[in-house]
Amino acid sequence: MLTKLFINGNWEDALSGKTFPTINPATTEVIAHIAEGGAEDVDRAVQAARAALDGPWGKMNAAERAKIIWKMGERIMARADELAKLETMDNGKTITESSRIDVPYSADLYFYYAGAATKLEGHTIPVNGPYFCYTLREPLGVVGLIVPWNFPLLLASRKVAAALAAGNTVILKPAAQTPLTAIALAEIGMEAGLPPGVLNVVPGHGATAGAALVKHPGVDGVALTGGTATGQQLMRDASNTVKKLHLELGGKSPNIVFADADLEAAAKMALMGIFYNKGEVCTAGSRLLVEKSIYDNFIEKVIERAKKMQPGDPMDPKARLGPLVSAAQLENVKKYVALGEQEGARLLVGGRQPEAAPVKGYFFQPTIFDQVQPDSTIAQEEIFGPVLATLTFQDGDELLKIANGTMYGLAAAIWTKDIKKAHRLAKEIKAGTVWINTYNNYDAAMPYGGYKMSGFGVESGMAAFEFYSQSKSVWVDLS
């Protein structure tokens, strides 16, 4: 298993000689010891990326880049079983999720952006006077990509594919908890024909490798998916070099169920909305807002399904709920459950580690609270675990106050058969994505981003190029 840094097309030890363990959250055993990148390694990667940008990659036309990006998607699918197992082993998500969602969706991002690479166009613009004016769309340059541990391959691919399609060179820093598929992605890029230095992978910790990447004057932009506090620190660190930033941060998404909804479908998707990937999802429907007249009946449907969703060995194709990613995240979830009980919410289901998990590890039961106050901690703060806070509403004004009543604005869902009401509410909710009668749908072509303290900038689709490229205006005197 490859465990080294990937810099300028070569597998390298960290200059410090340091390594760190990556741990299987289902067994608590060390999978491998990974080279620990530091500031000096980031500097080497930036130099390699700059040389590639000024050299072979920068001189390659968009159609040639597109062929390589497409091949990366093909190589991901050719290695799908291997990548799915690596992802499950490193993150704890079920093998079903890794194999059916994370890996194929990652490949699809490369297929989409291979096609998009030749669609970056400028404009001719009529202006006053005898001038011919046009714009050029050019790469941003050397970009740093910092990805979290909840969807390691998928979120890396969402960034890498768009960055490469725009003609940038990349330094990818995966989360220290889940570096394995990022290292495999470096190998895939090499197999597909990326020139040395185009894609560099530097595993390490946020306070060292991540901070060095953000502060480095040779990095033109940084895209982060992470927590809001991390995004705030990144903005401070990037200010000295005035870097272009894209931040996809936390969420506390409202999943809204009206009395006229298809309650069976809504109940089924309410579970998927919060317990998919064990709740370690930025857009998790962690606040279930139910119209008061149907609350008791509806919550029984949710509870009945939740009780059947017990944690299991994530390598078992029948498992529906794997372990949390780390011991630290397990303790974080326990802390929030205790806070929920202390603040007066009623625990309906779960709230504990299972008494007899099939394998040892960081498992936690699917957990549901009711009698949750809108301003309580578990209704306001992102838990990032399998914990659902349920609330009720009686009318539209109360609903909007609760739905928009957090610092976040990443996603929301609306369940109703009244399509006029659905569209009206979709406009009034302050969130970057709103699902109607569904949840957690994504596509490489569909823009994705947040409002408020969920960040700024958009990923996926052609809109992603607003970050990964820059526009140049050219004036020609015709007088």
List active site positions: 248, 282
Report the DSSP beta bridge partners of residue 289.
256, 391
Specify the amino acid at residue 313.
D
Rounded (10°) angle between helices 80-91 and 62-78: 70
Structure-token pair, residue 242:
């005035």
Tokens 């039961």 correspond to 365
Interatomic CA distance for residues 272 and 344, integer angstroms: 26
Integer Cα distance of 92 and 178 in angstroms? 10
Instruction: Select from 452, 388, 468, 464 the least CA-distant residue to 249.
Output: 452
**Burial of 136 per CB tally in 10 Å (0-12, 13-18, 19+):** middle
Please state, in angstroms and as integers, the Cα–Cα distance from residue 252 to each residue in 255, 289, 391, 430, following that order: 10, 12, 13, 12
Distance CA 66, CA 88 (A): 30
C-alpha span between 53 and 320 (Å, rounded): 44
Q: In a 3-state reduction of DSSP, which class is residue 14? A: coil
Tokens at residue 176, please? 């220290």
Instruction: Answer yes or no: are the C-beta atoms of 153 and 131 closer than 8 Å.
Output: no
The H or E element that residue 187 is part of is: helix 180-192
